[in-house]
Chain A
Amino acid sequence: MKKYTLNIVFVLLCAGVVLASQYKLLDRYILTVLMLMGINIIFATSLNLVNGNMREFSCGHAGFACVGAYVGSVLSVLLFTANKYTGQPLLSPSLAPLLFPVIMLAAALVSAVFGLLVALPSFKTRDDYLAIITIAANFIIISIIENSEQIAEQIFGAKSFGTFINGSRGFSGMKRTVNAMNDVAHIPWMEIWVILGACFCVFVLYRLVTSTYGKGIDAVAQDEIAAEIMSVDTKRTKLIAFMVSSGLAGISGVLYAHIYGYVNASSFGILRSTEALVMVYLGGMGSLSGCIMAAIAFTVLVEALRPGLRFLNDNMHYLGMLPDGYEISEVWRWVIIPLILFLLMQFRPEGLLGNRELTHVFPKLKNWFTLR
C-alpha cells in the first residue's frame, strides 16, 4: 500500500478541489487560480519537450495554444450552442460533456499540424534561428486571427466563417457550452476537464520521454550527429517532438478559452510565450517534475504578487517611504517576475532541478508512489 500513498493523496486532492467547487466551499477566484495552475502545467511541460529535452529554442509556444483555443472554441460553439453562423447547434447540447474530450483532441491535432508547419522549415536551423522562426510563427498566427474579420469580409462576404470568429474583438460563447454541460449534470465540469487535461498531458510526456523512442529526443539534444549515425532518425524525431509539444499546447488553449468563456488572440502573444519559457527555465530544462513544480510556483507567484504589492504599497505609504502621489501598481509584477528570471540565470542557470527529476534528488520518494 505504501507505494500508492502519493497517488492516493493526489487523487484525494483533486477530488477535494472538485467537491469544494461543487459545494461552493472554495472562492471562485481561488478555483480559477487552481485551474490556471493546471493549464500552466500543460503549457509549460509541453514546451519542456522541445526546449528542455530536445534543447531547441522555441519561443512561440503561445501561438500553438492560440490555434488550439480557437479551434476548440469554434468547434464547441458550433456543435453545442445556438450561434449566428449555423443558427441551431449542430449536435444536441446534451452531448457536450461526452464530446468535449474529442474537441480537445481535435484542437490538439490541428495545433500539432501547425507545429509541423513550423518545424519543417526549421530543420536546417537550430538555436537562435529556430527561435526567430518560432517567434515569427507566433506573430503570424496572432495577426491572421486578429485580421480574419476584415480579410474574410472582403473576400467571402459579411456572413462568412471568417467574420464569425470576430477577429480582434475576441470570440465568446463557450460559457454556453459549459452551461450545456451543466444542464446534463450539475458538476464542476471545467475543474474536471482541467485536471484530466493536465494528467493526460503529463502522462503522455512521461511515457514518451521514458520510452527508448522518446529518449531519441535526448540523444538528438546531446549529440545530433552521433544520434543520426547510431540509427536515430533525427528529422523524424524532431518533427514528432515538435508536434507532440504543439499539440499539447493546443489542449491548454482549449481549456483556457473555456474557463473564461472568452478568447482573444492578443492574450496568446509573445508575453504568454515568455511565461512558458520562464516556467521551463525555472523548473530546469528537461525535468518534467521540475517543470510541473515551476508551473505551480509561477502561477502562485503571479497571483500572490497582487495582494503582495498592495501590502507593500500600503505599508510603505504608512511608513512614509513613498511620496504621497505615487502608488505601487500591479504593473510592477512584470518587473519582479523577469527579475526572478534574471536572478535565476545568475545564480542557478540550470533551474530548480537541472535536468534531473524529483526522484533523482529524493531517491526515497520512489517508495511512495507508482508510475507506469
Chain B
Amino acid sequence: MSLLEVKHVTQRFGGLTAVTDFNMALEEHQIIGLIGPNGAGKTTVFNLVSGFYKPTEGSISFEGRDMRPYPPHAITALGMARTFQNIRLWNDMSVLDNIRISQHHRLGYGVVDAILHTRKYKESERSIERTAREILEVMQLSDYAEECPKNLPYGLQRRVELARALSTKPKVLLLDEPAAGLNSVDVEGLIQLIRWIFDEFKISIWMIEHQMKVVMTLCEYLMVVNFGKTIAQGTPREIQNNPEVIEAYLGDGAV
C-alpha cells in the first residue's frame, strides 16, 4: 500500500474537464514531480489532494484512508501539508505567529481553556512555541521570528512558507512551484534546501515545478500532464527523451 494513492480521479467544473483519469502513487520517503504546460491541471490535482475540491470521480487515499469526506484542515492534520504557487503567508503577523498558528490541529484546548489559562492551555502553548522555535532554528529563520513576512525578501518568504508547512509535521509535503519567481542563485539554494528537508524530516515530497533543473535534480519519478491527461511518466531521463513530452512543451511538429 502506498502512502498516498490517487486512483482514476476526474474533476469537472461544469462543462470543463480539468483533470481526466489521474492516477498516481507516492511511497514513503520519495520525491516525485508533476510537470506540464500552463493550465494543464497540475494545481487542480493539488487542490484535489489537499481537499479543496472533491473529485467528481475516483478516489484519493492517504495511509489507506479515504480522503474524500475530510475538509482541508483535517487532511492537513492527518499529515499532508502544502505550499502555494503565489506565496500565501499571513502577512500582517510575525513569522513566529505564522508558524504557531499552523499547528492549530495540535492545540487540544478550547475557548474556555484560552480564557482561563488552564494547565492544558499553558502546556499546549509551551509545546507549540517550542516546536515553532525549533522549526525556525533548523530553517535558519530565527533572526526573522518577529518580522512580518511582507517585509522579507521573496526568497525568505518562500523559506518561511516551507517552514510553516513543515510545522504541521507532515508525512507528505506538496510543493506548488517552489522555485517560481526565484533567481538562479536562489534556485540553487532551494534545491539544496528541499533535498535537506527530504533527508532530515524523512518525508515524502510531491512537487509541481516548471524549472526543469529543479525537477531533474531532485525527483526520482516524474509525471507529465497536459490538458488534464497524464501523457507520460517515468524517471527524469526517460521523460527527457519522450517525444510526446517534447511535443507538449514545444508544440506539434517539433520532433
What is the interface of chain A, defined by CB distance below 8 A to chain B?
Answer: 203-204, 207-208, 211-216, 218-219, 222-223, 225-235, 240, 244, 355, 372
Question: Given A212-B125, A215-B97, A226-B84: A232 and B110 within 8 A (CB)?
Answer: no
User: Contact: A234 with B73, CB < 8 Å?
Assistant: yes
Q: Which residues of chain A come closer than 8 Å to B102, judged between CB atoms?
A: 230-232
List B84-112 residues whose CB lies under 8 Å from chain A.
84, 88-93, 97, 100-105, 107, 109-111
CA A211 – CA B165 in complex, angstroms?
20
User: Contact: A231 with B114, CB < 8 Å?
Assistant: no
What is the interface of chain B, defined by CB distance below 8 A to chain A?
Answer: 50, 52, 71-74, 76-77, 81-82, 84, 88-93, 97, 100-105, 107, 109-111, 114-115, 117, 121, 124-125, 128, 164-165, 168
User: Contact: B73 with A228, CB < 8 Å?
Assistant: yes
User: Contact: A231 with B168, CB < 8 Å?
Assistant: yes
Question: Given A207-B115, A211-B125, A216-B101: A226 and B93 within 8 A (CB)?
Answer: no
Chain A residue at minimal CB-CB distance from B87: A226
* 9 intermolecular pairs with C-beta atoms under 8 Å apart: A208-B115, A216-B101, A216-B104, A225-B88, A226-B88, A229-B76, A230-B165, A231-B168, A235-B71
Indicate which residue in B84, B91, B104 contacts A232 across the interface (CB closer than 8 Å).
Answer: B104
User: Contact: B88 with A214, CB < 8 Å?
Assistant: no
CA A208 – CA B116 in complex, angstroms?
10
User: Contact: B109 with A223, CB < 8 Å?
Assistant: no
User: Contact: B115 with A226, CB < 8 Å?
Assistant: no
User: Contact: A213 with B90, CB < 8 Å?
Assistant: no
15 new A-B contacts at CB < 8 Å, known A207-B115, A231-B76: A208-B115, A213-B104, A213-B107, A213-B109, A213-B110, A215-B101, A216-B101, A223-B88, A229-B52, A229-B81, A231-B103, A231-B104, A231-B105, A235-B71, A244-B111
Q: Which residues of chain A come closer than 8 Å to B164, judged between CB atoms?
A: 230
Chain B min CB distance to A234 (Å): 7
Question: Given A222-B91, A229-B50, A231-B76: A213 and B114 within 8 A (CB)?
Answer: yes
User: Contact: A211 with B104, CB < 8 Å?
Assistant: no
Max count, chain B CB within 10 A of own CB: residue among A207, A229, A235, A244: A229
Indicate which residue in A212, A228, A234 contacts B103 across the interface (CB closer than 8 Å).
Answer: A212
